[in-house]
Chain A
Amino acid sequence: MLSKLLTNYEETVAVILFCIGFSTMLLNKNLLKKIIGMDIMDTAVYLFLASQGYIKGRTVPIVVDGIQSVEAYINPIPAGLVLTGIVVSVSVSALMLALCIRLYYRYNTLNLDEIIALAGKEEV
């Protein structure tokens, strides 16, 4: 079991990071920490995905020295997907951070429970 985890260490690290991010996002009351948790979670998925495209002994899929055999290069698809995913994550993080600023100006706290309680007292 341990040897399998060590052999697939990228995947193991990715799963551990995902669990850390997931629990941080779910259990923390602080909005900023929730966003950090969300980013860790996304990064873990991208690490997992990028590791799937890597093939030991091969190089980046850019044709150099006229070598056109696919056997020479790693799988470029996961890398492309990771780039797309990162763009999506950045947009989500930016929106969440902007929202945090709005909420902090309004309620002077980043604790989500306190914010919910204060908002509940406002008129509908």
Chain B
Amino acid sequence: MQFVQNFPFFCILLTLMGAVASSVMNSRMARRTTLFLILADLAMNVSVMIYTLQTGDSYAYKMGHFPAPWGNEIRVGVLETVSLTVFLLVILFAFLGGMRKSEKEIEPTKYNIYCILTDLVMLSLIALVYTNDMFTAFVFIEINTLAAAGLVMMRQGGRALVAGVRYMMMNLLGSSLFLIGCVILYTITGHLLMVNIRESVAALAATGQYHVPLTVVVSLISVGLAMKCALFPFDKWLPAAYSNSTPTGSAMLSSIVSKGYIFLLIKVYVRVIGFDVIRSLGICDVLFIFGAIGMVAGSVNATRAKTTRMMVAYSSVAQIGYIFAALGLGSEMGVMCALWHTLAHSATKSMLFISAHTLDHASGDTHLRKDLRGAFYRSPLAAAAFTLGAVNLVGVPLLSVFITKVTMAQAAIQIGGRHTVIALCALAISTLLNAKYFLGTTMQMYIPDHEHPERNAKVKINFYAALGLIGFIALNLTLSFFAQGIFGALLDGLARFA
């Protein structure tokens, strides 16, 4: 075994130790520790990504010198490392971009707790991406839920506390459904390790045994994770949670927390149960219908939103709908589309949240969309980042989300029948609504405020916010202009994933 193969395990261990150590640190040290952890995890993950891309192979890493289920196991391949690199870059830029504003919004004595929660979200994401064991996945889902709820409530206001409670309730219901799904899966297969479950499920599917329990298992896991991702109609908790959090909190909740669950769901479908079995159980059609409704319903609600952050939050419901509708198409291209959109949306939505918070601050700490008039003149960099995110989500050609929309349309046309009609209609309506609310908000940023000329003066933004926004712009452009290479690597990784 080469030394680099230990890095995923080191990432998990280092982040866990860093989070524990931060509990006895002051704010400044905790912030530095979190930054160090993000950079160290990113460096180690990039090393493993280069290794997996060069060898083109995946490997299982046993922990505890015992085979599963006594020991534990992680699986490292191209798909995991490429996805995690994008996620870690998002965490880095989100943390930098919202650092100063978060410091102002959080009580100084509690800032180290905020850093610990950020570390724990990162830890659980790394573990969810790498884990090869269903029960470990449940444990890290719960850690993710607790840490994310803490991020929602960190601003301490009444709205933030209520948003946190609603977030917890819905997410705990989702976790319980996932857990009972795992337990039934264990009772019918006798395994918790993903590879072993896959073998048992294939044997059961071939003989037609346990068809009903398998359907129940897949339904429970799908509904549980859909609740946690805020798929329509389980999306009522999302807008308040995303819009009442700190800038970094909003960005991480929308781009990291929900995406970890989606990655796990794709893993369960492709690696644990097998997509052929999933198709035969008829779950895909349900996901497709709710995904398509979510694409339209989220966009309609975003159009009605009065505040910028609410608009961006409701837009997340629509984008989650895209991912589930693509998964529900039940083809390899559909899964690939879902996977690509998970990464593209992660990079775009966090940029939108950080830029929206910066623009709101530059416009006199407003929250209303109408107050963003002339915001470009107050904060050109944040306006540029918001514009890039907006046109990307609308689906302008050459950008990353355009690839999602084209791939989804192609996947739907390949399947034919009602799927094609529903998918194309949902895509068209959602894109039109996206254009209405995003471009409407963006265009008014470039119109100077003649009634209050003093509001057109440039407002200085802090160095870290600028660094975060520049990082996000670079990441989104990289995902757009190098899409072919990244898409190819993911496709290759997905083929080896099963």
| Minimal beta-carbon separation of B287 from chain A (angstroms) | 22
Q: Is the CB of A95 within 8 A of B159?
A: no
Residues from chain A with Cβ under 8 Å of B142 in the complex: 88, 91-92
Q: Is the CB of A45 within 8 A of B176?
A: yes
Q: Is the CB of B135 within 8 A of A84?
A: yes
Whether, in the assembled complex, B173 has its beta carbon less than 8 Å from a beta carbon of chain A, the answer is yes
Q: Is the CB of B162 within 8 A of A124?
A: no
Given that A95-B168, A118-B158 are known contacts, is A48 also in contact with B183, CB under 8 Å in the complex?
yes
Residues from chain B with Cβ under 8 Å of A92 in the complex: 142, 145-146, 168, 172
How big is chain A's contact interface, by range?
A: 35 or more
Whether, in the assembled complex, B165 has its beta carbon less than 8 Å from a beta carbon of chain A, the answer is yes
Whether, in the assembled complex, B35 has its beta carbon less than 8 Å from a beta carbon of chain A, the answer is no
Whether, in the assembled complex, B378 has its beta carbon less than 8 Å from a beta carbon of chain A, the answer is no
Residues from chain B with Cβ under 8 Å of A120 in the complex: 159
Given that A99-B161, A102-B161 are known contacts, is A85 also in contact with B146, CB under 8 Å in the complex?
no
Whether, in the assembled complex, B282 has its beta carbon less than 8 Å from a beta carbon of chain A, the answer is no
Residues from chain B with Cβ under 8 Å of A95 in the complex: 146, 149, 168
In the complex, the chain B residue whose C-beta lies closest to that of A78 is B186
| Minimal beta-carbon separation of B197 from chain A (angstroms) | 14
Whether, in the assembled complex, A116 has its beta carbon less than 8 Å from a beta carbon of chain B, the answer is yes
Q: Is the CB of B157 within 8 A of A122?
A: yes
Bound-complex Cα distance A15 to B173 (A) = 15
Q: Mark A85-124, 1 if CB is under 8 A from B, else 0.
A: 1001001100110010011001100001001101110101
| Minimal beta-carbon separation of B476 from chain A (angstroms) | 28
Q: Which of B149, B176, B307, B367 contacts A42 (CB 8 A)?
A: B176
Whether, in the assembled complex, A54 has its beta carbon less than 8 Å from a beta carbon of chain B, the answer is no
Given that A26-B173, A38-B172, A112-B165 are known contacts, is A119 also in contact with B158, CB under 8 Å in the complex?
yes
Whether, in the assembled complex, B179 has its beta carbon less than 8 Å from a beta carbon of chain A, the answer is yes
Given that A22-B173, A84-B135 are known contacts, is A106 also in contact with B161, CB under 8 Å in the complex?
yes
Residues from chain A with Cβ under 8 Å of B367 in the complex: 124
Whether, in the assembled complex, B6 has its beta carbon less than 8 Å from a beta carbon of chain A, the answer is no
Q: Which of A18, A38, A41, A103 contacts B161 (CB 8 A)?
A: A103
Whether, in the assembled complex, A74 has its beta carbon less than 8 Å from a beta carbon of chain B, the answer is no
Q: Mark B137-179, 1 if CB is under 8 A from A, else 0.
A: 0110010011001000100011101101110110011001001
Q: Is the CB of A99 within 8 A of B176?
A: no
Residues from chain B with Cβ under 8 Å of A88 in the complex: 138-139, 142
Whether, in the assembled complex, B56 has its beta carbon less than 8 Å from a beta carbon of chain A, the answer is no
Whether, in the assembled complex, A63 has its beta carbon less than 8 Å from a beta carbon of chain B, the answer is no
Bound-complex Cα distance A49 to B183 (A) = 6
Whether, in the assembled complex, A30 has its beta carbon less than 8 Å from a beta carbon of chain B, the answer is no
Bound-complex Cα distance A88 to B162 (A) = 22
Q: Which of A25, A49, A112, A116 contacts B173 (CB 8 A)?
A: A25
Whether, in the assembled complex, B233 has its beta carbon less than 8 Å from a beta carbon of chain A, the answer is no
Q: Is the CB of B153 within 8 A of A99?
A: yes
Residues from chain A with Cβ under 8 Å of B135 in the complex: 81, 84
Interface residues of A in 49-98 (CB under 8 A from B): 49, 52, 77-78, 81, 84-85, 88, 91-92, 95-96
Interface residues of A in 33-50 (CB under 8 A from B): 34, 38, 41-42, 45, 48-49
Whether, in the assembled complex, B108 has its beta carbon less than 8 Å from a beta carbon of chain A, the answer is no
Given that A41-B176, A77-B69 are known contacts, is A25 also in contact with B158, CB under 8 Å in the complex?
no
Q: Is the CB of B146 within 8 A of A52?
A: no
In the complex, the chain B residue whose C-beta lies closest to that of A124 is B367
A-B contacts besides A102-B161, A103-B161, 9 pairs, CB < 8 Å: A22-B173, A45-B180, A45-B183, A85-B179, A91-B142, A106-B158, A118-B158, A124-B307, A124-B367
- A-B contact list, 17 entries, CB within 8 Å: A25-B173, A45-B176, A45-B183, A49-B183, A49-B186, A52-B186, A77-B192, A81-B135, A85-B179, A91-B146, A92-B145, A92-B146, A95-B146, A99-B161, A107-B158, A119-B161, A122-B158
